[in-house]
């Protein structure tokens, strides 16, 4: 999971750009250039709002190359993505999503995808927090 947290946005790198959807591009780069584990590629491909963005861009088949994704791991990487700012500060997930929307603006595919995905993304964060609480309670009992 740590590798996914570090590598999840590698698709923004100029040498990784292929489709223009950074999640798919990052997964392809990790798979084809780095030879990364398929689970890592899947997590990167499906992180945060990727399915919604892939749908907007007509890239559903490209995303499917990396599926199915493990839901608990997608939850975890999405949690990491939404609780840290672009410079690594801890942030509130709702504020992070608002920042993304403001940065891209309503005419951008990312804005539309994140807007549509927002309820599910916040549910992912909640599921991770619930699992964290359960793990803590189990350790304390």
Helix (H, G, I), strand (E, B) or coil at 96: helix
pTM: 0.89
Q: How far is CA 36 from CA 32, 41, 115, 119, in A?
A: 8, 7, 31, 31
Domain interval for residue 17 = 2-140
Task: List, for residues 18-77, the tens digit of each pLDDT value.
Answer: 999 999 999 999 999 989 999 999 999 999 999 999 999 999 999 999 999 999 999 999
Whole-number Å distance between alpha carbons of 55 and 64: 11
For the chain, the domain total comes to 1
Question: If pLDDT is split at 50, 70 and 90, which confidence band does 111 have?
Answer: very high
Helix (H, G, I), strand (E, B) or coil at 90: strand
Question: If pLDDT is split at 50, 70 and 90, which confidence band does 86 have?
Answer: confident
- Residue 78 is given by DSSP the state H
């Amino acid at each position: 999971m740590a590798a996914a947290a570090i590598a999840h946005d590698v698709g923004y790198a100029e040498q990784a750009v292929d489709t223009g959807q950074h999640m798919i591009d990052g997964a392809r780069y990790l798979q084809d250039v780095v030879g990364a584990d398929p689970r890592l590629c899947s997590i990167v491909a499906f992180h945060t709002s990727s399915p919604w963005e892939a749908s907007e861009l007509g890239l559903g088949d490209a995303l499917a190359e990396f599926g199915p994704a493990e839901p608990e791991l997608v939850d975890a990487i999405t949690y990491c993505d939404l609780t840290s700012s672009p410079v690594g500060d801890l942030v509130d997930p709702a504020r992070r999503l608002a920042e993304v929307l403001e940065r891209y603006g309503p005419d951008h595919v990312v804005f539309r995808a994140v807007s549509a995905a927002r309820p599910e993304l916040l549910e992912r964060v909640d599921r991770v927090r619930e699992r964290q609480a359960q793990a803590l309670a189990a350790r304390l009992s």
